Structure 1
Amino acid sequence: MRQIEGGTFSMGSVGWYPEETPVRRVRVDSFWIDETPVTNRQFAAFVAATGHVTAAQIAPDPKLYPGMLPGMDVAGSLVFSPTSQPVALDDFSQWWRFTFGADWRHPYGPNSSVDDLDLWDHPVVHVAWHDVSAYASWAGKDLPTEAEHEFAARGGLEGRDFAWGDELAPDGRMMANYWQGLFPFANTCDDGWERTSPVRSYPANGYGLYDMIGNVWEWTRDWWEDNPAPPRKKHPQACCTISNPRGGTIKSSLDRDQPGIRIGRKVIKGGSHLCAANYCQRYRPAARHPEMIDTSTSHIGFRCVVRA
């Protein structure tokens, strides 16, 4: 782990996506954070010690999911599947497939294996919120808040678009694992990787942290809010700075598109190997996205913190 001294920074951004606004002054206390995302090797040690079974390895209960189609109550997870041609980018069902038998040990489906694919030093994926919470508790750690993650990802740089400056690929150098080419059908793999990459494959940021941007999205402990409120509205006594914010509430994070399902959404940070210039330019410290806590995918992982 790396120790991050506390400090004040400008959280959020303007000019990218509306959920990143407003820019607000935020202070976080000192904390320690994992140098890399948790790897398959580390997660395997946790499973061996505890016998933990992940959400992707348990068939969903139809009682909890009204309207579930017949035959869908089978264990599995969401796996990215590239298309063969351009498709409408507002329909993610074109490239996401719920794959029976996909889980952290079998990242692309039942016929794949972290052993055969030599993925032990890649970030673990297909882990839902309760899986990462269980790992953190076992390790004596916690999940970072959204503010802690963004502060760490910036690496000491104030107001820059990326974790290394304002240019995505300075002098053509690949600084993170993201999608080059036109998503979701033409990945030129200029960075050398079609999917996840081993941790430490790219330069560390100013705090000595790897993969804070790209490779895999990372869970945080904060409940999702569409737009964080300005400091004076949310904390009228805080003047211009919010100290150690903890995100929204379960009520604010409920999925309004599915009002009958009371499953909240957590904030994920950092972007992934599927972020592209023509789609989801969220390979940035300020970027944020909601994720249902019961959902696992082939592009979401996590790292842990210990607070001083």
Structure 2
Amino acid sequence: MIAIPEGVYKIGTDQPDGFLTDNEGPQITIQHPAFSIDETTVTNEAFAIFVKETGYITEAEKFGWSFVFHYFVSEEIKKANKKVPNMSWWYAVGGADWQHPEGPDSSIEKRRDHPVVQVSRNDAVAYCLWAGKRLPTEAEWEIAAKGGTDFEKYYWGNNLLENGFYHCNIWQGDFPKLNTLEDGFASTAPAKWYEANAYGLYQPIGNVWEWCSNPARIDLTAFQKKDSSYFWEEHQKIDDQMYATRGGSFLCHQSYCKRYRIAARNGNTGMSAANNLGFRCVK
């Protein structure tokens, strides 16, 4: 885990880069105690150890299906499953789970070092309790993602590309039909693929969305009024509220999802799982 020092930090942004309803600003200053955070998202290998030791069954496995983006669904699976109403890019795929991220004809055999996906927030909470850790608040996530800088977009600077070089795994090309794979990946990249930020944190931007402990899109001033333990104690129960997710994923593209930025905010229901949803832990 990476040690993040106690200090005064800025979170949020005053820039109009995102969606008004996401409550990305106004930017505020908070005094935050020290904490530690995983250097990578939890990998398939790490999650497999948890499952082996506990016998845990994920919610996607219990439900018998989960969400998969159309680009990764084979024609055979498409015929056997249905598109999600009002979400035409997504299929509800029977047999999709953390060991079969794109459906029963997929595998993590060659992706042990990739982020675990198809995990709900409730699944992430169960892992944290087993590991003696917890989920980060959005404030902790943002502080760690910045890597000690004042950058609000990317931990390497203010430009997505530097000399044509990608620092993260997002969608290139014509979303949602064509991915030109300029960053080298269509789906997840290994959790330690791109360079770490100045704190030593790998890929907080892109790759997979990361679950947080607090409800989605709450006013940023809540993090001035309540400490991290409050959000964890109040929200570690199993439920289906809307919870915060951070960082964007390999499906983010400027034409649709502008949330592959440090200050960007998003959320999902606690029981949701998809092939671009993962997590990392703090302590």
Structure 1 residue runs without a partner (length 5+): 60-74, 84-90, 236-240, 252-261
Q: Does 1:228 align with 2:219?
A: yes
Matching residue's letter, 2:38: D
1:26·1:242 contact (CA, 8 Å) conserved in 2?
no
Using a 3 Å threshold, how does the CA distance of structure 1 residues 263 and 138 change in structure 2: closer, same or farther? closer
Q: Does 1:292 align with 2:279?
A: no
Q: Distance in 1 between matches of 2:231 and 2:128?
A: 19
Structure 2 residue runs without a partner (length 5+): 73-84
1:44 is aligned, of 35, 38, 48, to 48
Deviation for aligned residue 1:159: 3.9
Match of 1:275 in 2: 252
Deviation for aligned residue 1:242: 5.3
Matching residue's letter, 2:102: Y
Match of 1:95 in 2: 89
Using a 3 Å threshold, how does the CA distance of structure 1 residues 42 and 92 change in structure 2: closer, same or farther? farther
2:134·2:232 contact (CA, 8 Å) conserved in 1?
no
2:193 is aligned, of 175, 195, 201, to 201
User: How many pairs were matched up?
Assistant: 263
Q: Distance in 1 between matches of 2:231 and 2:282?
A: 16
Q: Show the 5 A alignment for 1:66-145.
A: 75-82=64-71, 93-115=87-109, 118-145=110-137
- Calculate percent identity across the aligned residue pairs: 41
Deviation for aligned residue 1:247: 6.4
**RMSD after superposition:** 2.3
Match of 1:63 in 2: none
1:27·1:242 contact (CA, 8 Å) conserved in 2?
no
Q: What are the Cα deviations for residues 260-307 of structure 1, in whole angstroms up to 9, with x where unaligned?
A: xx831110001100111212121111111011001100001000011x
Match of 1:66 in 2: none
* TM-score after normalising by structure 1: 0.80
Using a 3 Å threshold, how does the CA distance of structure 1 residues 29 and 243 change in structure 2: closer, same or farther? farther
Q: Distance in 2 between matches of 1:6 and 1:279?
A: 36
* TM-score after normalising by structure 2: 0.87
Q: Distance in 2 between matches of 1:289 and 1:130?
A: 17
SS at match of 1:10: strand
Matching residue's letter, 1:99: V
Q: Which runs of 4+ in 1 moved over 4 A?
A: 245-251
1:119·1:198 contact (CA, 8 Å) conserved in 2?
yes
Matching residue's letter, 1:9: Y
SS at match of 2:92: strand
